[in-house]
């Protein structure tokens, strides 16, 4: 079940990446192009697609590829903490609270799942130690 969870939630990053690339095209082709957003959005979009591919690949051998999944969990949990800070401080829109409902459970699932799959501690996973077999 965890393998499928990682595979399909990872695959969903392709959609988010495509959305970022579409946003880049949108700001570049707008009547008044938004300076300074095209390159970051294009890069972010492709990075998210790379993350999707890496997660799908890692899901096929979670014991040996656990660092990919574990660290992606930390990325998602960073998004959650960022939203918790940013929205009340007017650094983000209120709709971004939705990210907590999406990325929170996925991030926790990745981190806790890899702790269980590898038999390693949080800090061992953080340091990309090999799984105990």
Query: pLDDT tens across 70-127, in order?
Result: 999 999 999 999 999 999 999 999 999 999 999 999 999 999 999 999 999 999 999 9
Please name which of 113, 115, 74, 79 lies closest in space to residue 97, comparing C-alpha atoms. 79
The answer to whether the beta carbons of residues 82 and 36 sit under 8 Å apart is no
What is residue 106's predicted lDDT score, i.e. its pLDDT? Answer: 98
Residues 46 and 96 in one domain: no
Q: Which domain holds residue 27?
A: 1-50
Residues 88 and 118 in one domain: yes
Residues 69 and 38 in one domain: no
Residues 125 and 84 in one domain: yes
The 3-class secondary structure across the chain, one letter per residue, is CHHHHHHHHHHHHHHHHHHHHHHHHHHHHCCCCCCCCHHHHHHHHHHHHHHHHHHHHHHHHCCCCHHHHHHHHHHHHHHHHHHHHHCCCCCCCHHHHHHHHHHHHHHHHHHHHHHHHHCCCHHHHHCCCCCCC
Residues 43 and 107 in one domain: no
Residues 68 and 126 in one domain: yes
What is residue 132's predicted lDDT score, i.e. its pLDDT? Answer: 83
Domain count, the chain: 2
Q: pLDDT tens digits for 8-47?
A: 999 999 999 999 999 999 999 998 888 899 999 999 999 9
State mean pLDDT over 46-59: 98
Please name which of 1, 6, 40, 48 lies closest in space to residue 23, comparing C-alpha atoms. 40
Q: What is the pTM of this model?
A: 0.91
Q: pLDDT tens digits for 75-84?
A: 999 999 999 9
pLDDT of 133 over the 80 cut: no
- In a domain, residue 28? The reply is yes
| Gap between the Cα atoms of 117 and 1, Å rounded | 12
């Amino acid at each position: 079940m965890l393998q499928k969870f990682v595979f399909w939630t990872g695959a969903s990053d392709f959609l988010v990446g495509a959305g970022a690339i579409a946003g880049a095209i949108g700001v570049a082709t707008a009547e008044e192009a938004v300076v300074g957003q095209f390159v970051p959005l294009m890069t972010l979009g492709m990075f998210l697609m790379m993350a999707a591919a890496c997660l799908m690949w890692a899901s096929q051998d979670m014991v040996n590829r656990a660092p990919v999944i574990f660290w992606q969990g930390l990325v998602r949990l960073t998004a959650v903490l960022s939203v918790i800070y940013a929205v009340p401080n007017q650094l983000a829109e209120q709709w971004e609270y939705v990210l907590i409902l999406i990325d929170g459970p996925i991030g926790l699932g990745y981190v806790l799942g890899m702790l269980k799959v590898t038999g390693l501690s949080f800090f061992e996973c953080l340091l990309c130690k090999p799984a105990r077999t």
